[in-house]
Copies of this chain bind each other. A is one copy, B any other.
């Protein structure tokens, strides 16, 4: 599973790179538009160490950011699952904040929180949480009548139980979304670093862009891809384990 992810990533990356190089040679673009193989390899040697630590740094924020966003998504999703006034109010709030591009909100965030670790984490989680929220909302708002009936009619239904039932019935959807959202957490962290400019691979990308160093960017993308593949592979394995542990009800399978 994990290895498959990695070599599949390598294939994807190679195809992308070959495509770029093809364009370069077809349009006979110079090295400063699209770097040649030599330049890429040279850059790789130069920046590998730095970028490696940058990506690791980013990764640590990513993991944390994802945890925060899972918590946020479930918090908002659970609070907003009802079609009551309050539920829809919470949804409107969550949706509207999301419609605001982070670049517009960033100045306000920096005013409120300064530019330390906290801002970076907040931006990362904000980018990552919304897709999670959408799924969680969809799942939490759909009753599982056959299971819930007993608890409702006997007056035993609590919101925790409702959430648990709906989450469990949609466990495979949830694990798909959660492990998939790792990539978003990564992208979010990178954007945060890009804006907040003090550490991580996003910061390095910003510098590379500023220096018009496309080779550097390609290598950064490579490192990001490798690391995210590993992380996601791990998450998926974890997800599988949780599913077997909790022994997903194969409904309808009689």
- Mark A residues whose CB is within 8 Å of B: 4-5, 8-9, 11-13, 20, 23, 33-34, 85, 88-89, 92-93, 95-96, 98-105, 107-108, 111-112, 130-131, 133-135, 137-139, 141-142, 144-146, 149, 170, 172-174, 176-177, 180-184, 186-188, 190-191, 194, 202, 205-206, 209, 214, 217, 220-221, 224-225, 228-229, 232, 250-253
CB distance from A31 to the nearest CB of B (A): 13
Contact A138 B104 (CB under 8 A): no
Q: A88-B8, A221-B100 are in contact. Are A174 and B138 (CB under 8 A)?
A: yes
Which residues on the B side are within 8 Å of A177 (C-beta)?
134-135, 138
Bound-state CA distance A16–B224 (Å) is 35
Which residues on the B side are within 8 Å of A5 (C-beta)?
88, 92
Which 8 A-B residue pairs are closest in the complex by CB-CB distance?
A131-B131, A145-B252, A138-B173, A99-B183, A146-B252, A138-B176, A101-B190, A8-B92
Bound-state CA distance A114–B16 (Å) is 18
The contact of A194 among B101, B130, B141, by CB within 8 Å, is B101
Bound-state CA distance A84–B13 (Å) is 20
Q: A142-B173, A145-B252 are in contact. Are A137 and B107 (CB under 8 A)?
A: no
Bound-state CA distance A20–B108 (Å) is 9
Bound-state CA distance A172–B83 (Å) is 13
Q: Which residue of B lies closest to A176 (CB)?
A: B138
Q: Beyond A98-B184, A134-B176: 14 further Cβ-contacts under 8 Å? A: A8-B88, A9-B92, A11-B89, A95-B228, A99-B225, A101-B188, A102-B191, A103-B194, A130-B184, A131-B131, A134-B180, A138-B170, A141-B176, A144-B252
